């Protein structure tokens, strides 16, 4: 168990990086509340983790929906008495050029990446403050720093998670409730990037692969952030925090790195547009 924490709620627990975070928390003996939209996948992750001996509750939830968020928090608190750790991992992108976005696209993406996580924190905070203990981990992205192509709204919302976490941490740490943000570079082997490459039958060059980190690194960073009460952890091969600082100091550097991925990303956005034109909601529906 980490500190006194007994129960963790993890969003985006059905596939991608989320199950790695779930398994790492389960290894620490924490009871788990799993949230995502896909019920069968969520149940599968829950069954796997339950077999390790911890209690697991899966709550199919769309985190963009206000009533669903309240129901999730109520169910979790009623079942376990308290939620000590919240990991806001659910997130995604449309993989669409910004000039093609509709107003609804913009709002939906901000609800997924920013409003949903902020609201879950707001709902869980009173209980944490009452017990004088709690921890919030937000999964964010280097997207905006790297200037990764076609991620304007995604990057804005992910940078929002960073700002929100910093102030939340400052305001409530003395009251026993702390927060961390984990800032991810590109993750290989699971998650959005890996799934997109597989769907499109694309293969990365050895140089592209050198920029990837494994999903296990994210899970370990979540544990480390809680254990050591870290404000921020950057997940990138090499000196991540230094890279992040350099990109802030020299914004052109991130853009230059992002441009290296531009040809592949153009193929990806064109692929998603073709899917949308064909009305294939199932596949691009996964993206948002």
Catalytic positions: 154
Radius of gyration of the chain (CA): 18
Q: How far is the CB of 21 from ligand NAP (least distance, A)?
A: 9
Candidate segments 79-87, 122-130, 190-198, 220-228, binder of ligand NAP by CB under 6 A: 190-198
Candidate segments 124-132, 184-192, 224-232, 237-245, binder of ligand NAP by CB under 6 A: 184-192
According to CB under 6 A, which one of 23, 28, 38, 200 is a site residue for ligand NAP?
Answer: 38
Query: Under rule CB under 6 A, which residues in 57-96 are in contact with ligand NAP?
Result: 61-64, 89-92
Q: How far is the CB of 205 from ligand NAP (least distance, A)?
A: 17
Locate 213 and state its tokens: 């980190």
Instruction: Note the maximum CA span of the chain.
Output: 53
Q: Which residues contact 84 (CB under 8 A, 6 or more apart)?
A: 4, 5, 6, 7, 8, 128, 131, 133, 134, 135
Q: What is the DSSP string of 99-149?
A: GG--HHHHHHHHIIIIIHHHHHHHHHHHHHHHHT-EEEEEEEESHHHHT-T
Candidate segments 13-21, 198-206, 238-246, 265-273, binder of ligand NAP by CB under 6 A: 13-21
141 near ligand NAP (CB under 6 A): yes
Nearer to ligand NAP, 13 or 153 (CB): 13
According to CB under 6 A, which one of 17, 49, 146, 217 is a site residue for ligand NAP?
Answer: 17
Size of the site for ligand NAP (CB under 6 A): 31
Query: DSSP code of 187?
Result: B
177 neighbors 128 (Cβ within 8 angstroms): yes
Locate 209 and state its tokens: 């692969």
Q: Which residues bind ligand NAP (CB under 6 A)?
A: 11-18, 36-38, 41, 61-64, 89-92, 112, 139, 141, 184, 186-187, 191-193, 195, 286
């Amino acid at each position: 168990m980490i500190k006194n924490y007994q129960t963790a709620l993890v969003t985006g627990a059905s596939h991608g990086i989320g199950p790695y975070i779930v398994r790492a928390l389960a290894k620490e003996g924490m009871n788990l509340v799993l949230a995502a939209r896909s019920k069968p996948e969520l149940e599968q992750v829950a069954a796997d983790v339950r077999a390790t001996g911890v209690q697991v509750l899966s709550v199919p939830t769309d985190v963009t929906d206000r009533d669903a968020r309240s129901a999730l928090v109520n169910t979790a608190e009623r079942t376990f008495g308290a939620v000590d750790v919240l990991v806001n991992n659910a997130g995604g992108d449309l993989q669409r050029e910004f000039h093609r976005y509709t107003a609804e696209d913009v709002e939906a993406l901000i609800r997924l990446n920013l409003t949903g996580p902020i609201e879950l924190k707001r709902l869980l905070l009173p209980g944490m403050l009452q017990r004088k203990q709690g921890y919030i981990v937000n999964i964010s992205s280097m997207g905006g720093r790297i200037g990764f192509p076609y991620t304007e709204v995604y990057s804005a919302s992910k940078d929002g998670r960073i700002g929100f976490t910093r102030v939340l941490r400052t305001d409530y740490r003395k009251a026993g409730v702390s927060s961390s943000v984990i800032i991810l570079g590109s993750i290989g082997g699971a998650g959005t990037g890996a799934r997109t490459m597989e769907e499109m039958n694309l293969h990365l060059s050895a140089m592209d692969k050198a920029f990837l980190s494994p999903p296990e690194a994210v899970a370990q960073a979540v544990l480390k952030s809680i254990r050591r009460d870290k404000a921020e952890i950057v997940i990138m091969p090499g000196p991540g925090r230094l890279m992040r600082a350099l990109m802030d100091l020299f914004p052109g550097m991130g853009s230059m790195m992002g441009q290296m991925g531009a040809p592949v990303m153009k193929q990806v956005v064109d692929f998603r547009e073709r899917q949308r034109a064909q009305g294939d909601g199932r596949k691009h529906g996964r993206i948002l």
